[in-house]
Chain A
Amino acid sequence: MANPVAPWGNAQFDGFAKVTEIGPLGMITLRAKRDVAGLEAAFAALGLTLPDPRRIVIAGDKAAGWMSPDEYLLILPYGAVNDALASLATSLAGQHHLAANVSDARAVFRIEGDKADQVLKKIAPVDIDTLAVGELRRSRAAQVAAAFWKDGQGYTLVCFRSVAGYMMGLLSHSATSGSELV
């Protein structure tokens, strides 16, 4: 089996911030209520911590994000998804939940540099200055849905696969040198 292809070919753009399409990453959407028995153990079995509302907990190459009161986003290496799904099925057997592989349904971008925040300020109606470390923000980027969080020297942004090209164009336009928000 060949390697999976990132939706926009891992494109890059260098402006006043650096934009890179990363991935594909392994992603699982997990629908379950917070009080489902064994949920914390199910996360722990994957090396993950159950996130608080509107937060994402990052642990190495894995992360768990809170998406809604009954939805989580699990991020892990692309090749680890099937084992993780099997693990969840075991951990949550008999408990009402839904776990689905969405690794290929998403495009993931990194926006990096001292002024990376400005790229997002131009496209998302979000108060980036008050975005806490570990805060996962579901919002929009111009005309499409997006989720993002601060991570190291930049931000990670997730959107739907089909609009990867639009997102790359949007991020590149926003990061164009000379258009710093000063």
Chain B
Amino acid sequence: MSTRLSKGGRLIDRAQAVEFSFNGKRLRGFAGDTLAASLLANDQMLMGRSFKYHRARGAVASGAEEPNALVNLGRGAFLEPNQRATTTETFDGLEAQSQNHWPSLEMDIGVVNNALARFLPGGFYYKTFIHPRAAWKHVFEPIIRKAAGLGPAPKEMDGDRYEQAYAFCDVLVAGGGIAGLQAALAAAADGARVMVLEQTPVWGGRAPVDGDVIDGMAADLWVKTAVQALEGMPNVTLRTRCMVAGVYDHGYVLAEDRVADHTPGDGRPKKRLWRIRAKRIVAATGALERPLSFAGNDVPGVMLASAVRDYVVNWAVSPGDRTVIVTNNDDAYRTAIALKEAGLSVPCIVDARAVANGPLPTQARALGIRVETGKGIAKVKGTKRVTGVTLCMQAGEGAGLEDIACDAVAMSGGWSPVVHLWSHCGGKLTWDDAHAMFRPDATRPPISHDGLAMVYPAGAANGALKAAEALVDAALAGASAAWANPIAAAQADMREEAALEPVWIMPQGASYKLRAKMWLDYQNDVKVSDVQLAAREGYESVEHTKRYTTLGMATDQGKLSNINGLAVLAGALNTDIPNVGTTTFRPPYTPVTLGALAGEARGEIFQPLRRSPIHAWNEQANAYFEPVGLWRRPYCFPRGGENHAQAIEREILNTRIGVGMLDASTLGKLIVKGPDAGRFLDMMYTNVMSSLGIGKCRYGLMCNENGFLSDDGVVVRLAEDTWLCHTTTGGADRIHAHMEDWLQCEWWDWQVYVANVTEEYAQIAVAGPKARALLEKLGGMDVSAEALPFMSFAEGTLGGLPVRAYRISFSGELSYELAVPASFGLELWEKLVAAGADLGVMPYGTEAMHIMRAEKGFIMIGDETDGTVIPQDLNLGWAISKKKADYLGKRGQERSYLASADRWTLAGFETLDGSVIPDGAYIIAAGVNANGQGNTQGRVTSTYYSPTLKKGIAMGLIKGGLARAGEVVEFTKLGASPVKARIVDPVFYDKEGAKQNG
């Protein structure tokens, strides 16, 4: 059984007990524990079930690489699936649930899959479910998703807070082990700004566990001294619980700071995503131990040798009373020695190598530990827990030599440098044959904007696995990254270790039956036999094999399985490991919570909401808002029990017979000024703006270089050298940028300045036969037809507020648009509402505006235009100057296709039965096209029920256009007979303009 030892535990505080629960069971641990350590201390070796076969699984590792021990933390609004028990700190009140089990962790029905394993080989999904096609979506996928899968997605909105923060430094050191600390000391010595980020809560990494001695001190003490030195430097920032997730171009780094994971409810943000711009990065990310592939290497109780050592030394947890060590290297002997020193039994060290006579094996033997060389494990006994192992010859086929009873197995297949950060931005790897590992190739680093190396690997991450080498390597890396003078590295005692011998399959000649029980990828249940099958089926590329077998996928991204998997693949393909290569290392290093990526962007500040100065009034008036860019504009203002259609009808009729008000503040407003401003606007617009009289307004069209209609609006001339251009709401920033583009890049010598004053003014349209009467009630300026005729403007005051009043009309009614400084926008609006009470004034929304302009035959950018329409298509030839030598779009419009008489052009449509033509409907033409689809001769662009005319009206584009007036055509209607409509003039209301001109 696994239990807590009575002594030791360098990271725990025995004085501080904490209570937590696992699957509802109340358990106790100590402050400083990881959840995995606490569970093992409570003899809870079984922590989860595997993805595909639902096999019993316990922790195999002690850190970030853990594939098995995934749990759900918290509940309800605080539920977090797929959390690694090995990196979760145990705190008082922690609630954990194991995953992927049904009905219970101990008794899992899904384990039946295990019996069916031979029917579930690699590529099984692809082979089995490909036909019939429809069955995947409706039958197979739902069932597989239920049976397989990791933790459940939370159903409630996340109850925690998250945020992001930016940081800048010269050198970012990823990893706070001895290499990271040494690199930081070197990098910071000359004053460079240095950040050191460590993913665990503890500085020092593995060195203290491995018993290294540095500068004559125990590693623990050296680490403490180094951290103190760094803390004392004003140019150094240190953070624990902060995982460097990814390295991106030009030294951009993302790191996840687990601010309050371990102290929930204390008011701090749960996580913070750091967005760091580092000049250069030191990757002191250490190395990960590799499992060995022997049958039953996934049974709970089989762990990495380094993890066993960690549990004993760091948390005083014994994974078992009797632990068999199986290894291909000297390092694992440290685990045997640590166990022995903790008073535990090590029945045997099984060493695949023929000889093991280095200092560590010698020390182990001196402690009385039996060492069996040239041997391997044929299989592990037990299902939910290791009960023993059967030994065999490593060189043989797995015939059992001897059974040894034990309750834990510590395995070591050698170490793989953590090359992720080196690789994220393109750093290349080289295969180190002596150590059987990929390590960074110093000649092919990831490069930054300056073409120089961006990431400097240090210590074990660079293949310098021993402390003495790692410190020298890290001191150099730190100084190099800071472009600083080198400093003397700390000295670690050197202990000789013999070379490891690569062992990819144990025993090397194992039968299929054994290979089908050798787990490569614990999380995805990928075994040696699956990768070999993939190779036989032609999957030669490691990337293809990954996707076919799911090797190295899911939350652990193959931290334990990648190298073993590709070594097996290389073996099956009869090639070298470097020829197979690795899969691509992509960020994040370990999973990052979506909440941290979203940061503050949720709820009220999910997205900027642009509010007009009248927005709050609109809200109180029960406006139903529609999004227009980031603005919310009132679509309509329902009153009482009105539905939207009723509200819109009322708003329109009230405007047509009385007076209505529209919040038009969102319209773009650009001041264009300078000696060349007139010439510039003549190029921007299709018509002539330079000839516009001061005090006058003119409607204008803007096209892009290809001739397509891009924006429209009223231009007014404020002064001899100054114009004000109105754009559509969505066009304000776009047209401003368009103007600046032409001024800065093409006509840089023209003297023109543009200022975007969109938000300086609130703008209120007052429209309807009683509009003038309303303004006169406020008083302050002459708004008579004589003083202020149609298409002119005047400046003055209304109700004591400074306004510029434009006589322009988008509704077809007598209409004024009043521009007022935004600070007074609400005040003017409220004064108009109050003064207009007895005139029956009502606000109207954007839908009423849309319908009224359609009744009047006015086009709308985005309805009548879609990026393929030129002004001529919309019968707007009158707004295109024939006299001007040029304007943007002129040449484009002269291209044969755009100048063709066959283009669809604008017309009005009246349905014969008064109904409304469906949005997006096409006009049917005779015959079918090459694809057998019905031919079309046009389409509807705007279609509404007209409250004014009490019938459906529409505008659309049709081949032949208005020349076909009077003809009846048919519009498509989904699920019904086509709608018959007559081609008519698109101006349905007040064609002569008596109302707007009045």
A interface list, Cβ under 8 A from B = 1-2, 4-7, 24, 29, 31, 70, 96-98, 100-106, 118, 121-127, 129-130, 142-144, 160-166, 169-170, 173-174, 176-179, 181
Contacts and interface: CB of A to CB of B under 8 A. Distances in A.
B673 A105 contact: no
A119 B682 CA distance: 47
Contacts of A179: 161, 163, 268-269
Contact of A104 (B608, B609, B821): B821
A127 B822 contact: no
A98 B739 CA distance: 15
Nearest to B755: A100
Contacts of A2: 824, 827
Contacts of B751: 96
A124 B163 contact: no
Interface string B156-191: 000001011111100000000000000000000000
A42 B607 CA distance: 40
Contacts of A104: 759-761, 821-823
A161 B601 contact: no
B288 interface: no
B594 interface: no
A169 B604 contact: yes
B610 A163 contact: yes
A82 to B, nearest CB: 10
Nearest to B756: A105
Given A163-B608, A163-B610, A100 B671 contact: yes
16 contacts: A5-B824, A7-B613, A31-B755, A98-B754, A102-B757, A102-B760, A104-B760, A105-B757, A105-B759, A105-B822, A121-B167, A122-B166, A123-B600, A124-B166, A127-B277, A179-B269
B292 to A, nearest CB: 43
B822 A29 contact: no
A173 B605 contact: yes
Given A5-B823, A121-B166, 6 more contacts: A29-B755, A100-B760, A101-B760, A102-B760, A122-B600, A181-B165
B759 A174 contact: no
B758 interface: yes
A107 B776 CA distance: 33
The 5 closest A-B CB pairs, nearest first, are A4-B823, A98-B753, A178-B267, A162-B610, A104-B822
B823 A105 contact: no
A176 B601 CA distance: 15
Of A98, A100, A160, the most chain B CB neighbours within 10 A belong to: A98
Contacts of B757: 100-102, 105
Nearest to B671: A100
Nearest to B721: A96
A31 B605 CA distance: 33
Interface residues of B, number: 48
Contacts of B761: 104
B164 A122 contact: yes
B904 to A, nearest CB: 38
A164 B268 CA distance: 26
Contact of A98 (B165, B613, B674, B801): B674
Nearest to A118: B165
Nearest to B163: A122
Interface string B610-648: 111100000000000000001100000000000000000
Contacts of A174: 163, 600
A143 B631 CA distance: 14
Contacts of A162: 610-612, 631, 759
B725 to A, nearest CB: 13
Nearest to B260: A178
Contacts of A98: 671, 673-674, 753-755
B605 A170 contact: yes
Contacts of B600: 122-123, 142, 170, 173-174
Nearest to A141: B608
B258 to A, nearest CB: 13
B758 A166 contact: no
Interface string B670-700: 0101110000000000000000000000000
B266 interface: yes
A146 B918 CA distance: 44
B368 interface: no
B601 A142 contact: yes
Contacts of B152: none
B159 to A, nearest CB: 15
A105 B753 contact: no
Contacts of B801: 1
A103 B269 contact: no
A70 B753 CA distance: 9
Contacts of B630: 163
A161 B759 CA distance: 7
Interface string B431-450: 00000000000000000000
A7 B802 CA distance: 18
Given A2-B827, A143-B607, A163-B610, A173 B759 contact: no
Contacts of B275: 125
B671 A143 contact: no
B755 to A, nearest CB: 5
Nearest to A162: B610
Interface in B252-286: 266-269, 275, 277
B826 interface: yes
Nearest to B799: A1
Nearest to B609: A166
Nearest to A106: B759
Interface string B483-509: 000000000000000000000000000
A7 B610 CA distance: 11
Nearest to B666: A162
A105 B161 CA distance: 32
A29 B759 CA distance: 13
B760 A105 contact: yes
B827 A144 contact: no
B796 interface: no
A166 B605 contact: yes
Contact of A96 (B161, B277, B675): B675
**Which among A70, A105, A176 has the greatest number of chain B C-beta atoms within 10 A?**
A105
Nearest to A107: B759
A17 to B, nearest CB: 14
Nearest to A128: B166
Nearest to B744: A70
A126 B124 CA distance: 51
Interface in B717-773: 751, 753-755, 757-761
Contacts of B758: 105
Nearest to B677: A98
Contacts of A101: 757, 760, 821
B998 interface: no
Contacts of B165: 118, 121-122, 181
B832 to A, nearest CB: 15
B800 interface: yes
Contact of B753 (A6, A97, A130, A170): A97
A31 B166 contact: no
Interface string B802-815: 10000000000000
Contact of B823 (A24, A118, A143, A144): A24
B984 to A, nearest CB: 40
Contacts of B268: 178-179
A6 B275 CA distance: 33
B608 A166 contact: yes
A143 B166 contact: no
A169 B609 CA distance: 11
A144 B609 CA distance: 10
A162 B826 CA distance: 13
Contacts of A100: 671, 755, 757, 760
Given A31-B755, A105-B760, A121-B165, A178 B608 contact: no
A103 B802 CA distance: 14
A96 B753 contact: yes
Nearest to B239: A182
B671 A4 contact: no
Contacts of B760: 100-105
